[in-house]
Amino acid sequence: MILWIGLFALGAAILYRRTLVQEWNHFRSHRREWLYDKWKNWGEPFVVAAVLAVLIRTFLLGPYKIPTGSMIPTFMIGDRIFVDKVSYRLHEPERGDIIVFKYPMDTKKDFVKRLIGLPGEEIEIRDGKVFVGGKSLEEPVFTKSYYYNVKDSPYGKVDQKIKVPADSFFVLGDNSAHSSDSRSWGFVPQKNVVGKAFLIWWPFNRVKMVK
């Protein structure tokens, strides 16, 4: 690898020898002018691009990598997704959205789950289905998953009715048998929500919008 890099550098030096000599002479004779020219043509555009990239990632669009299988088959391990950080500033999160949020037990970690329960609702997991206010969720996005009760889980027991607190959400992984979610650690404060997952952008054969 080092040899190839050296050969490439040597080839570039030979190919652009005249340009390099001119640049060197310009630098020696008009150093301040040369530096200003390089700043205007290279430094300034780079700084602007870097600032824009940081602003976009912080406030508009965030890339995330899926590290576990808790959302299979919606997301596979290693999928890379884009998260919309703007929409929830315009409207409230909706049931069925796949949200990225700061894990309540350790806000340095980001989790991705499906939003099931909204503030003030009563949730129950029974016979593989989710019931909200006594009515089962029959939309395809919910019926494609079998939701398991967990005997030793604080919020996932059989015949347990769970009241979602104000300004909080109840979330579950699509791969219910292998998901650490609200059944285990409780509710997601609304302030912890980062945004809505909307696109798988890598690997190439899985590029698609997220429903």
Catalytic, 70? Answer yes
Q: What is the pLDDT along the chain (211 residues), one digit of tens a residue?
A: 565 555 555 555 565 567 666 766 776 777 777 677 766 666 556 655 555 445 445 555 789 999 999 999 999 999 999 999 999 989 999 999 999 999 999 999 999 999 999 999 999 999 999 999 999 999 999 999 999 999 888 999 999 999 999 999 999 999 999 999 999 999 999 999 999 999 999 999 999 999 7
Q: Please identify which of the residues 38, 87, 113, 144 carries the catalytic annotation.
A: 113
Helix (H) or strand (E) holding 169: strand 168-172
Nearest to 200 by CA among 56, 78, 53, 58: 78
Catalytic, 208? Answer no
Paired tokens of 108: 């340095």
Paired tokens of 178: 């292998």
Handedness of CA 125, 127, 132, 134 (dihedral sign): negative
Q: Please identify which of the residues 38, 65, 70, 109 carries the catalytic annotation.
A: 70
Nearest to 169 by CA among 195, 148, 192, 149: 192
| Furthest CA-CA distance within the chain | 84
Ordered by where they begin, the domains of the chain are 2-59 (no CATH), 66-209 (2.10.109.10)
Paired tokens of 129: 């289905």
Full DSSP string of 18-36: HHHHHHHHHHHH-HHHHHH
Handedness of CA 68, 74, 78, 79 (dihedral sign): negative
Nearest to 145 by CA among 179, 103, 190: 179
Q: Hey, is 58 helix, strand or coil? A: helix
Q: Is the pTM of this model over 0.85?
A: no
